[in-house]
Amino acid sequence: MSDQQPADSSADKGGETPADGQESDDSTRSMVPFIVAAAIAAIVLAVIVISELVSPVEKNVTEADRVAAAVRDFGDASSRYGLVPPKEAACPDFDPKRSPMAGRLDEGETGKAIEITKLEDMKVEGDSATATVTSKVDGDEATGTWQLRRVDNEWLVCH
């Protein structure tokens, strides 16, 4: 008969078994997986922190994203300031008569709800950009090609 029963674990330890309420030596080995998992988690966290420091999210913003933000900022500024937006939203040589809002806002008129509803066909070439913008002023929607220029590393609407 070759079937053998496994030896009793208490026999391997010289017949000693832990007394009731006492832990065996196996309990210290059960901490190893937790320690390894904590070390791996610390390494992963360190890699995430280092990668964020090396390549911040701001660097992942494309020029198209910046142009789109400038268009939306111009819409917000036109809503608050009318045909003559603040210098932070428009080119230095901005002409209100050529504004994308010309004919849709009256001179000196402020407080009209302006919403940029669609932004398409964006083309960025160096420090110039164009975009086909659909905007809604008090419920009246219109589409036009907007011209933008990068001034001091900021995109501004020119006309």
Question: 121-142, pLDDT tens digit by residue?
Answer: 999 999 999 999 999 988 889 9
Res. 3: pLDDT tops 90: no
Res. 8: pLDDT tops 90: no
pLDDT at 20: 53
Show the tokens assigned to 112.
Answer: 């009209």
Residue 120 forms beta bridges with which residues? Answer: 132
Residues 23-79: tens digit of each pLDDT:
555 555 678 888 999 999 999 999 988 877 777 666 677 888 999 999 999 999 888
Res. 9: pLDDT tops 70: no
pLDDT at 81: 86
pLDDT at 19: 54
* Cβ-defined contacts of 58-64 (< 8 Å, 24+): 63/124, 63/129, 63/155, 64/122, 64/124
Residues 103-125: tens digit of each pLDDT:
888 777 777 888 999 999 999 99
Burial of 115 (0-12, 13-18, 19+ CB in 10 A): middle
pLDDT at 151: 92
- 3-state SS of 71-98 is HHHHHHHHHHHCCCCCCCCECCCCCHHH
Task: Decide if 158 contacts 90 (C-beta within 8 A).
Answer: yes
CB contact set of 108 (below 8 Å; sequence gap of 6+): 82, 83
Cα–Cα–Cα angle for 134, 135, 136, nearest 5°? Answer: 135
Give me the half-sphere count of Cα atoms (radius 13 Å) on the Cβ side of residue 123: 7
pLDDT band at 17 (very low <50, low <70, confident <90, very high): low
